[in-house]
Chains A and B, each alone.
Chain A
Amino acid sequence: MKRNIIILVIILLIVAVCIIEELVLANINRDLKNYTQLLSSSITENSNDLSTLDVEERYNDLKDFWKDSKRKLCYLTNYEKIRIMDESIVKLGASLKNNDESLTIENLAIIEAFGEFTYYFMGFNINNLF
């Protein structure tokens, strides 16, 4: 009886972890998309000068959001994968400062793809089963 209760608790724990993981990944992916889209539209609007206050604000929002999400992702993803995102955000900041539009777009694309890839690899997906 005692053992059955422990097993039941373990099952509930596993289910809870799976649901939390799925929700966290879906939320991060969705929010990351929103932040990158906002930054992307801001870059398109200010394509002549990327060092405007609006672009900088959007970039800072993205950076803060990532800082927050990173803490959660540390429990769910391989740290090495998170590093790619860290590097891309730093590169994005540098390209914005240098007013390099093509590099900015490239880094933004990497960041956007990261969210999707993480969700694809970590979230429940029938392709990942095999």
Chain B
Amino acid sequence: MKADSNLEKVLNEGHFAVTVELGPPRGTDISVIEKKAGFLRGMADAVNITDCQTAVVRMSSIATAAILARMGIEPVMQMTCRDRNRIAMQSDIMGASALGIKNMLSISGDHQSFGSQKNAKKVFDLDSIQLIGMVKRLRDEKKMLGDGDLIQGDVPMFIGAAANPFAPPEEFRALHLKKKIDAGADFIQTQGIFNIEKFREWMETVRDMGLDKRCSILAGLIPLKSAGMAKYLTDNVPGINIPDSVIKRINGVPKERAAEEGIAIICESIEQLRDIKGIAGVHIMAIEWEHKIAEIAERAKLLPRPLV
């Protein structure tokens, strides 16, 4: 065991893992976190805490993750490379570990020009692959970057990375995934997958490279709330590939039934993803829809979650 986190144990024992997402509040109100976390309790093996997603200032992922850990719900602390240099990152990772956080996800982070602080100075001292390598070094060798000063204590961190199979350059994406695994990623969460057939083909490439044997791949899913959302995701979110058949389905129902159809679609997707060799679980990104996770998990037969 690398971190002895619940997520790691669930994956190690061969269960089909479930992770979900929780966005921290734009302020200090803990009750917002507690309420969202309440919807997610028992529904997933770990809960990703986003790190100022879309570059909008929110409560830190570390603090929110620590609050979840205190509630007995296991967090996956997301950490972007946008806002911290290697000094702050190592410091924050050690701090997170001391606060009982055992999973993290290394990502580049949305560019600052998207968010509420457009004129901020970006950092990107490390990229997400270098960040993975740095955490692995802290965990496995107890060494900091640079001269390799030894740290005191342990950094048991289960290391995650993101993958976006369908963003250009598409042919490079599996090779890029390999770099992340070479750097030390233990698990992967992908961009939202809608085109299961295309994803099946990509996984074939991934399996041919033996990557599924070297880390746990969780397929990302986004429940559609409306036809408008499907269009927005297609037009604006890189790597989101929604087949016409899915668009037709969500367009084909009355507006008030679109959300229900969206849930039906995601449940069917989960069913299909379960059968793809090399898929170790799903990562459900229900953006500001935490209260619908129970219904999705129930209908997709993801419950009860294993006790490990």
Q: Do A and B come from one complex?
A: no
Interface set of B (CB-CB < 8 Å, partner A): none
Interface set of A (CB-CB < 8 Å, partner B): none
